[in-house]
Amino acid sequence: MNERMNEYTEKSYGPLTESLLRLRKNKIAVAGLIIITLFLIMAVFSPWIAPHDPLEQSLYDKLQPPVWESKGTWDFPLGTDDFGRDLLSRIIYGSRISMIVGLTAVYISLFFGTIAGAIAGFYRGKIDNLIMRLMDILLAFPSILLAIVIVAFLGPSLRNAMIAIGIVSIPRYARIVRGSVLEEYSKDYVQAARALGAKDLRLIFIHILPNCLAPLIVQTTLGFASAILEAAALSFLGLGAQPPTPEWGAMLANGRSLILRAWWAVTFPGVMILFAVLGFNLLGDGLRDALDPRLRE
Give tens-digit pLDDT for 145-177. 999 999 999 999 999 999 999 999 999 999 999
Which residue in 128, 124, 144, 145 sits closest to 136, CA to CA?
A: 128
Of 9-13, 62-66, 81-85, which gets the smallest average pLDDT? 9-13
pLDDT at 262 > cutoff 60? yes
Mean pLDDT computed over 21-50: 89
Residue 77 is part of a domain; what is its CATH number?
A: 1.10.3720.10
Domain-located, residue 72: yes
Domain-located, residue 163: yes
pLDDT at 176: 92
Q: Give 292's pLDDT tier (boundaries 50, 70, 90).
A: low
Q: Give 28's pLDDT tier (boundaries 50, 70, 90).
A: confident
Measure the CA–CA gap between 127 and 143, rounded to whole angstroms: 25
pLDDT at 191: 83
pLDDT at 15: 59
Domain-located, residue 12: no
Measure the CA–CA gap between 64 and 261, rounded to whole angstroms: 11
* pLDDT > 90 in the chain, percent: 49
Residue 285 lies in domain: 41-295
Higher pLDDT, 81 or 4: 81
Residue type, 281: N
* pLDDT > 70 in the chain, percent: 91
Q: Cβ distance 219 to 281 under 8 Å? A: no
* Domain total of the chain: 1
Rounding to the nearest 10 degrees, give the CA dihedral for residues 151, 153, 157, 159.
Answer: -70
pLDDT at 246 > cutoff 50? yes
Mean pLDDT computed over 274-281: 94
Q: Give 293's pLDDT tier (boundaries 50, 70, 90).
A: low
Give the start-end residues of each E strand in 38-105.
none
pLDDT at 8: 40
Domain-located, residue 7: no
Q: Cβ distance 297 to 12 under 8 Å? A: no
Q: Cβ distance 182 to 139 under 8 Å? A: no
φ and ψ at residue 83, rounded to 5 degrees: -105, 5
Q: Is 297 exposed, middle or buried (0-12, 13-18, 19+ CB in 10 A)?
A: exposed
- Residue-wise pLDDT for 175-209, tens only, equals 999 998 988 888 888 888 888 888 888 888 888 88
pLDDT at 89 > cutoff 90? yes
Of 16-25, 250-259, 265-274, which gets the smallest average pLDDT? 16-25
Domain-located, residue 120: yes
Residue 26: which residues within 8 A CB-CB, separation 6 or more? 286, 289, 290
Cβ–Cβ contacts within 10 Å for residue 272, how many? 21
Domain-located, residue 198: yes
Domain-located, residue 9: no
Domain-located, residue 3: no
Mean pLDDT computed over 42-56: 92
- Residue-wise pLDDT for 91-129, tens only, equals 999 999 999 999 999 999 999 999 999 999 999 889 999
pLDDT at 296: 52
φ and ψ at residue 239, rounded to 5 degrees: -105, -5
Mean pLDDT computed over 24-37: 88
